[in-house]
Amino acid sequence: MLKIVDLWIKRVLSFIIGNILLYLCLLSVFSTSAGEKRDFSSVAGKEDISFYNFYLPDNIIKHLIILLLFIFIIYFLSSSLKRIGKNLNRYSWLNCLLYFLVGMVWILITRMPPISDQQKILNIAEQMVMGVYTQFQTNSGYLWRYPDQMGIVYYYYLITLIFGKYNYLVIQICNLIVATIGLVFVKKLADVFWSKECTCIGFGIQLSYMLFIPYLLYITFIYGTTLGFVFSLLAIYMEVLYLKQRKIKTAILSALFIGLAVVFKTNSMIMLIAMMLFLFYDLLIEHKEYKKTILFFVMIISVQIFFTQSIHFIMSSKSGYEVSKGMPKLDWVAMALQESRYAPGTWNGYSVHLYEEANYAYKDANQLALESIKKSLYSFWDDKSEAVRWLGRKQAAQWNEPCFGAIEISRNRIAAANMPKFAKRVIYGRWGYYIIIYQNYLQTLILFGCLMYFIFTKSKNIKRETLILGVVMLGGFLFHIFWEAKNQYVLPYFWIIIPYSVKGYQLVSLKIRLCIKK
């Protein structure tokens, strides 16, 4: 009976994840989204930034030609890779070294300080060192409104204590170190999943992350994106090891890593929930050492509560202000269901407007948000075709921009030193345009590979633990239907599925070889 339940769970998950991948792949082939930032100004500490999103038709023929050429190349390389696979794995550290060196060069030649919210949270950390706590003040303070940012602010506070003000280069180098560690462990995770089937799979996945330009450019982004993703990846790796070995030390490490991931980036809660769902799945099917699994489940919750409460206690003790509930989460949902100048569901200031209209009263703001949500849902219900178009534009704006904002986050940041011409061309000029074109085709290749993985892997043969990556992506996909849309927010859920793509092309190559033999 349990085997049947297990099979049907795998079938349902594979079907849902596969269909989302099919949708995203078709979206990438037939169209692309491009964002543009205009009218940037900073007056009296207030920023005025206008964003615009363009929905552009794509060249289907070029996508198909590049896809066929890539499959052709992979097929002819596959036999050689099979012979040298173990040797490639031995030199995977060279991938990490190369990535680290390129990343370090990029940081040092660009020297781009943070802007917008990144600058705000770094400024708050620097003010804390000087004993200034105005951003904790009731109603008006940034951390009063957004207490979820306290974890990353405290991290920057500790760095500022050690390295002093204007330490953004140190933070960027820390991002680089963590991203390099991510390359090490994504290979380890792939080896746990598939090394018996293909010895060089981990090397290929490392290479894919390196070729995916946003994984490099986001190291200069001081906002917890890289930290949250990598620590989530470490937590997932440790959980998978636990499910294989049932060792309590891997459970402890997993709970600690996912706790840190949420501290650095609150959206990592989606990864945390996916991990807990898989522990429940394991309890349902396996019953192996169930007491340890229950303890693991409890540890994840306990560590998360401990980290959150500890940071809140420290920050409250330092500032003299109680940590607030912040703006109601429903305020963000209300905003996410509206139109915006940039794209549907993106930032339009409505969440802040509701909070201010309610005179900063949490319950009143919550009620106003609920009324707004009902109004939006009734509107969608009355005009279903418009609702579908609205949702399509929202999903395209956040999932179908090839660089996921990687070029955009580098613009309008005044470098501390003169940048070389080629760096300026990457950020503002023709090279940046070429990167977008390259990423456009690479995005299609990655999504097609992921889709092939789910098409060519039968549900009965799919390893249960490998589905966790897809469940994370599924969680991010569903969550951002009802939350503020932004391509940088969904980027970690795209990063997490890259291993599927490499494995998918290995399966495509195998299928072609079998067909030729017949």
At 134, the amino acid letter reads T
In degrees and rounded to multiples of 5, residue 35 shows phi and psi of: -100, 150
pLDDT tens sequence across 483-502: 999 999 999 999 999 999 99
Would you call 227 exposed, middle or buried from its count of C-beta atoms within 10 A (0-12, 13-18, 19+)? buried
Give residue 516's pLDDT: 82
Report the relative pairing of strands 46-57 and 31-43 from DSSP bridges. Answer: antiparallel
Q: What is the pTM of this model?
A: 0.94
H helix or E strand, kind and range, residue 7: helix 2-30
Give residue 116's pLDDT: 82
Give residue 43's pLDDT: 37
Q: What is the DSSP letter of 418?
A: P
Q: Closest by alpha carbon to 89, among 202, 237, 193, 179?
A: 202
- Distance set, CA 279 to CA 274, 293, 305 (Å): 9, 7, 19
pLDDT tens sequence across 20-43: 999 999 999 999 998 766 544 443
Give residue 193's pLDDT: 93
Give residue 45's pLDDT: 38
**pLDDT < 50 regions, the chain:** 39-48
Give residue 47's pLDDT: 42
What is the Cα–Cα distance from 330 to 348, expressed in whole angstroms?
Answer: 15
Joined together, the tokens standing for residue 431 give: 């090279």
Q: What is the torsion angle, in degrees rounded to the nearest 10, for the CA atoms of residue 435, residue 440, residue 442 and residue 446? A: 140
Give residue 42's pLDDT: 40
pLDDT tens sequence across 128-151: 999 999 999 888 789 999 999 999
Partners of residue 31 on adjacent β-strands: 57
